[in-house]
Every structure is written in structure tokens, then in C-alpha cells.
Amino acid sequence: MPFSPFTIINDSTATGQGVNDMKGGNVMIFASLKALHELGMLKDRTIVVYFTGDEENAGNPEEVSRGDFIRRAQSCDIALGYETAQGFNIATVARRGASTWSLETEGNQAHSSGVFSERVGYGAIYEASRILNQFREELGGETYLTFNPGQIVGGSDISFDSQSGKAEALGKTNIVSRKAYVTGDLRFLGEDQKERAREKMRAIVDQNLPGTSARIVFQDGIPSMPPTEGNLALAGILDQVSQDLGFGEVRPGDPGSRGAGDISYLAEYLDCLDGIGAPGRGAHTPNETINLKEYPDLIKRSTLLVYRLLHGK
């Protein structure tokens, strides 16, 4: 972990780059293992500690970039994720997956006085707008499903750089648009929900306005981590640990409140529990903080949790 500025604000708060997401959790791992090692509790036990340095941006193909990560997990029984805690008494038993999509529409370039006519049609921008609005109307109320158009460009001629995200458009107010391009993400809980959403989106894309055409392309990203019985059982063990320490109960968090995480690559193979790392606020911002009062108790709880999981207590 590279050095970054760390400033203590008061007896309960400190600020610094990545203090709760994710360096605080990383330190918790070392602290728990150090304590167990010094007590001789790691003998004849195997723990794999895996740190990824790409901020959940694995690169393609993911079967290669995350291949070693997955293979190591397949030799284990349980995965614990030390990403920032949502709250002292909340554990993550499920996470939504994240994928991307790109939409291209085309229309007949012509003078704007002919728009809506049988000869000209509606143009690429109207078609893109129709599709996005229909996405919202037909899929917008489904629990745990979100789809966000993050960028749109349209006109007579357009260009888009997928690496930089830079887009350019050429057009005029009196010209019916010839091309439009939209990029977005799709978040879901479980492969079934993802595939159902994609099927509905494809059907909407195919209902073209007169004089237009459209196509949508989906690209897989991080899979989801469904709330399995095994994950809930792990949360139950953490809950008992917490209560035994006098720290209060721990309850499963809302899957819709967390983004995608690397632990989801392992969810297909073993029971997982996440969000047991450092507490704080403002993750991924210049004002990121860590709660110094809760942090020592979370380290104690983590240590006892790992001990009980290792020794079947």
C-alpha cells in the first residue's frame, strides 16, 4: 500500500486517501492474522490473503485477469471481504453485479422540415430517446435492477473514444440526426435478473420508429453475489461473535445499497461475507474519513470471527 497523507481530526475521526475503502480493511486483515499467529491459532490452518490493485477494473478477458484469484478461491471454504463497513452492525451478504451496454441508432439525414414524414422518419436522436424512455417505463420499477445511460452523443456525424470517454458530434438544428450513441451500465442481483433485463431491452430496441434502426451490445463485468443460505449463515456467525463481545447484533444489509465488488467473482464457488472492514464516510472522495472509536472493536470482532471459522467453534 503506497503512503498517503493521514490526518487525525479528533479522538474519533481521521481523514486520508483510502482510509476506509480500502486501506483500513487491509490493516484489519494484518491485525487479525498477527493476533492469531501470536496465539498459535493458525497452526495446521490455511488462509489465503488476496489483494487486487486495480480498483475492481480487472481488464479483459476476465477469465485471465481474475483467473488466479478464482482458482485460489476454489481451494477454500469461505471468503471474507474487508471492504468498508456500511455500519458497525451491518454485514454484506449480497452484492449486485455490474455490466455495461452501448446503444447505436441511425436515421435518415435530411432537412428538419421533413422530420416525422414517411420519407424522412424520426432521426437517430428521437430513436435513442424513445428507447431510453421505454427502458425507464418498462424496467424502472424492478427491485435491485438499475440501468443508467451515462453518456449520449448524436448528430449528423459522431465519434466516440471508448478508452477516454471523449465524444464529438457535428450537426445543425435544421438537420435530422443521422447517428446517435449511448453508453450505460446495468446493475442486477443474480444472472436470471440480468438476462431477463437484457431480453426486455433488446425487445425495446427492436421496436424502431419509422425511418430508424438501432442495435444494443452488452458486455459482462463483475458478476453479482446473491444472498445465499451459506452467506446468511456466515452473517449469523458474525452476529453471534458480535453479541458475545457485547457489541450488539449484526444484520444483513440491503443488496441494493452496495456496488459491485471483487468478492462476487467467488460467489459461485463458496460462501461469502463482505463489508466487515473499516467504518467511515466519504469513500472515493477527498474527504474520506475513518471512525477511530469503532475501528479497534471491529478488529477484535474480525479476529474472533476468523478464529471461530478456522476452528469450527
Say how far apart CA 118 and CA 115 lie, in whole Å.
9
The pLDDT of residue 59 is 81
- C-alpha cell, 57: 477494473
List, as one string, the DSSP characters of 130-180.
Answer: HHHHHHHHHHTTSTT-EEEEEEEEEESEEEE-TTT--EEEE--TTB---EE
Reduced to 3 states, what is the DSSP secondary structure of residue 98? strand
CA distances from 234 to 81, 183, 229, 242 (A): 12, 37, 9, 12
Of the candidates 22, 1, 3, 94, which has an alpha carbon nearest to the alpha carbon of residue 278?
22
Which amino acid, 115? V
Residue 209 CB contacts under 8 Å (≥ 6 apart), including other chains: 121, 122, 126, 127, 130
The per-residue pLDDT for 313 is: 65
pLDDT at position 4: 60
pLDDT of residue 298: 97
Enumerate domains of the chain plus CATH numbers: 6-95+225-311 (3.40.630.10), 97-219 (3.30.70.360)
pTM tops 0.85: yes
pLDDT under 70: residue ranges of the chain: 1-5, 313
> What are the tens digits of pLDDT across the range 192-206?
999 999 999 999 999
The tens digit of pLDDT for each residue in 281-293 reads 998 888 899 999 9
Q: At 59, list the grid cell.
A: 481488464
Size of the chain in residues: 313
3-state helix/strand/coil string of 205-268? HCCCCCCCEEEEEEEEEECCECCCHHHHHHHHHHHHHHHHCCCCCCEECCHHHCCCCHHHHHCC
